[in-house]
Structure 1
Amino acid sequence: MAKMQRNTVLVVLSFFAIYFIWGSTYLWNKIAVTELPAFMLAGIRFVTAGSLIFIISKLLGFSLKITKQQFKNTFIAGFLFLTFGNGVVVWALKYVDSGFAALEVSAQPLVVLLMMRVLQGKKIQPMSIIGVILGITGIFLLVSQKEVIAQEGAILGMVLIFICMLSWSYGSLFVGKAVLPKNFFVNTGYQMLTSGLSLLVISTLFGENWTSPVTWSPKVLWSMLLLVTFGSIITFTAFNYLLRIVSPEKVATSTYINPIVAMILGWYFLNETITVQSVMASVVLLTGVYFINTKKSLTILSRFSGKRIPKKISDQELPH
């Protein structure tokens, strides 16, 4: 595919999207999950976003036809990334602060690296080993805080988020070999729509109490609108645009910005506490992620692009 023409304004706006909008999704999810059942919330978000992506794709002249194998793989990828990976994170936000969740999730590149070592026998480079040590230290500092552990359900929330990171990490490895639709926008649409429908089925099985949007409070309506339009469609499009315009390691810098944005927004809008130990944990953990991202190159598939590209272990697989 020919390289897309670089547009400075679009590049700046796209970086703003992956830095600040993705960091804001934790706040929006936290606000919405205080009133809505977690799986219903996530299901509606992805069904709506996936449907809109299909409509936009048709307007742009993209073909929605895919093979049975591609459909199967998009379903699996959607389950690993969105049904389980994102849906359970939203559920966990009932028990932990949004900033805490974002910081814990930022350790996902560490989990990918270790999973590649265990499942694929990939050798970990010396500088990446330093990153692993720093990452584990940062996680320990984060989860060992008495102020956090004392909160009701906090340990459950931490465990749920960690399990989600395992799901996303395995999904990262899965899509590296899977046959997916070549058009990243269509690929995204299938993943979102299938995962959204799966989440609504899970919501029904869990007996969640569905409510009509007309009964939602204004802040929840705004949160859902922002999650669908900005958090799902616009930011994912910006992400894929940047992958084709700038180097992957530059796109990976959002790994370091997202949790900071989430922590500040959670503190400002939800009165979430930012402890000194959380700040120390964030510095240590994100430094570890920096070592991993910059010193250990991988060839894995972007969950949306549908083509193999060399890139770093980055937040490109995070459940925003």
Structure 2
Amino acid sequence: MNKSKLLIIVSFFSIYVIWGSTYLLNKIAVAEIPPLLLASIRFGAAGIIILLIAKLLKKSLKISKRQLLNLTIAGFLFLVYGNGVFVWALKYVDSGFAALLASTQPLFVLFLLRLIDGKKMQRKSIIGVCLGVFGMYLLVSQKQIATSEGMIIGIFMILSCVLSWSYGSVFVSKAELPKNFFVSTGYQMTIASVLLLFWSQVFKEDITTVKTMSYQTQMSIAMLIVFGSIVAFTAFNYLLKVISPEKVSTSAYVNPVIALFLGWYFLDEKLTAQSIVASAILLTGVYFITSRKRISKNKIAPSQKT
């Protein structure tokens, strides 16, 4: 096996397993650390490390005023709302269940492209949308969910986060941003960290919790920073350069499977028969959407999103 093939395999492992595990890691950490503060710590550390890497690679960190504005908007859509609120919702929703809801992002992107650009949907996309909507209905219409007020709020907020991330994907595909993805990502994460810390204080989150967090939470945050935010994202951008976007986007329906298994194994999250059937239908719908003959030039950023 040559070096490039090995690198591709390792990169796919990163976007499949590492991103799939971020739901579990966030679920563990948010039990002790307030969600907005947690996201601020994670993205602040990752952003600074990524910018340092860019500097070591001798990439220019200079950006224009327009790029700064666009980076702020992207950081808000992806990381402040798209991730910060998502982590908050994990207080009420199982990590595997949340991952399944997040997998509907390609469906949201299709709707937005249709609404904003008037792009027509292909036959496979229409089938995928129908399956996705039906699978989502089966998933959220279960009796045990309908009777849980916190669960309903959590689901609603997660879907709003998916919408925010989806619009961010469309926005980034058109916006003027730094050409180097390390520079772009580093600034987005750093800016988002400041915004998240601001809103954390507005909502009066207890910042002193960082002093009393357990070793398990510390390790979860460290893994989110190093593997979830730096390694997996770097692997994702590498794959976009050497592999077709269709194949890279398969993470959208692999991540939930990983998250479901990890949530069941480590957190004893329960899986109902209806959830399993809904998952199969929903992920089949995502497959139809991401495997259509000609994927849009607008690259769909992954939902993980977390």
TM-score (norm 1): 0.92
* Residues in 2 aligned to 1:9 and 1:149: alpha-carbon distance in whole angstroms: 46
- Are residues 1:39 and 2:36 paired? yes
Is the CA contact 1:85–1:164 (under 8 Å) kept in the aligned structure 2? yes
- Are residues 1:319 and 2:287 paired? no
Which residue of structure 1 lines up, in the alignment, with residue 295 of structure 2?
297
Q: How many angstroms does 1:111 deviate by?
A: 0.8
Q: From the two aligned structures, give the one with the greater helix fraction.
A: 2
* Residues in 2 aligned to 1:117 and 1:246: alpha-carbon distance in whole angstroms: 26
Q: How many angstroms does 1:6 deviate by?
A: 6.5
Q: How many angstroms does 1:318 deviate by?
A: 3.8
- Are residues 1:113 and 2:99 paired? no
* Residues in 2 aligned to 1:149 and 1:233: alpha-carbon distance in whole angstroms: 37
Task: Trace 1:229-244 onto structure 2 (pairs within 5 A).
Answer: 229-244=226-241
Which residue of structure 2 lines up, in the alignment, with residue 225 of structure 1?
222
Q: How many angstroms does 1:147 deviate by?
A: 2.4
Q: How many angstroms does 1:125 deviate by?
A: 1.5
Q: What CA deviation, in whole Å up to 9, does each residue of 1:278-299 have, x standing for no partner?
A: 1111110111111111115211
TM-score (norm 2): 0.96
Is the CA contact 1:127–1:292 (under 8 Å) kept in the aligned structure 2? yes
Is the CA contact 1:172–1:317 (under 8 Å) kept in the aligned structure 2? no
* Residues in 2 aligned to 1:124 and 1:216: alpha-carbon distance in whole angstroms: 48
* Residues in 1 aligned to 2:212 and 2:244: alpha-carbon distance in whole angstroms: 45
1:122 to 99, 119, 138: 119
SS of residue matched to 1:66: coil
Which residue of structure 2 lines up, in the alignment, with residue 251 of structure 1?
248
2:266 to 264, 269, 272: 269
* Residues in 2 aligned to 1:119 and 1:44: alpha-carbon distance in whole angstroms: 34
Q: Which amino acid aligns with 1:300?
A: N
Q: How many angstroms does 1:152 deviate by?
A: 4.6
Is the CA contact 2:43–2:190 (under 8 Å) kept in the aligned structure 1? yes
* Residues in 2 aligned to 1:277 and 1:175: alpha-carbon distance in whole angstroms: 36
Is the CA contact 1:98–1:262 (under 8 Å) kept in the aligned structure 2? yes
* Residues in 1 aligned to 2:209 and 2:93: alpha-carbon distance in whole angstroms: 26
Is the CA contact 2:102–2:303 (under 8 Å) kept in the aligned structure 1? no
Task: Trace 1:29-68 onto structure 2 (pairs within 5 A).
Answer: 29-68=26-65
- Name structure 2 gaps, 5 residues minimum: none
Is the CA contact 1:17–1:235 (under 8 Å) kept in the aligned structure 2? yes
- Name structure 1 gaps, 5 residues minimum: 302-312
Q: How many angstroms does 1:227 deviate by?
A: 0.3
Task: Trace 1:128-207 onto structure 2 (pairs within 5 A).
Answer: 128-207=125-204
* Residues in 2 aligned to 1:175 and 1:207: alpha-carbon distance in whole angstroms: 31
SS of residue matched to 2:297: strand
* Residues in 1 aligned to 2:155 and 2:100: alpha-carbon distance in whole angstroms: 11
Q: What CA deviation, in whole Å up to 9, does each residue of 1:206-260 have, x standing for no partner?
A: 0001125442101100100000000000110011111111111111111111000
Is the CA contact 1:88–1:161 (under 8 Å) kept in the aligned structure 2? yes
Which residue of structure 2 lines up, in the alignment, with residue 307 of structure 1?
none
User: Which protein has greater RCO, CA pairs closer than 8 Å, 6+ apart?
Assistant: 2
Is the CA contact 1:6–1:245 (under 8 Å) kept in the aligned structure 2? no
Q: What CA deviation, in whole Å up to 9, does each residue of 1:19-52 have, x standing for no partner?
A: 0000000000000001110100001100110011
Q: How many angstroms does 1:58 deviate by?
A: 1.4
Question: Which range moved further: 181-190 or 245-254?
Answer: 245-254
* Residues in 1 aligned to 2:180 and 2:209: alpha-carbon distance in whole angstroms: 34
Q: Which amino acid aligns with 2:240?
A: L
Between the two proteins, the alignment pairs up a number of residues equal to 304
* Residues in 2 aligned to 1:20 and 1:149: alpha-carbon distance in whole angstroms: 31
SS of residue matched to 1:153: helix
Q: What CA deviation, in whole Å up to 9, does each residue of 1:177-207 have, x standing for no partner?
A: 1000000011000010001110000000000
Which residue of structure 2 lines up, in the alignment, with residue 11 of structure 1?
8
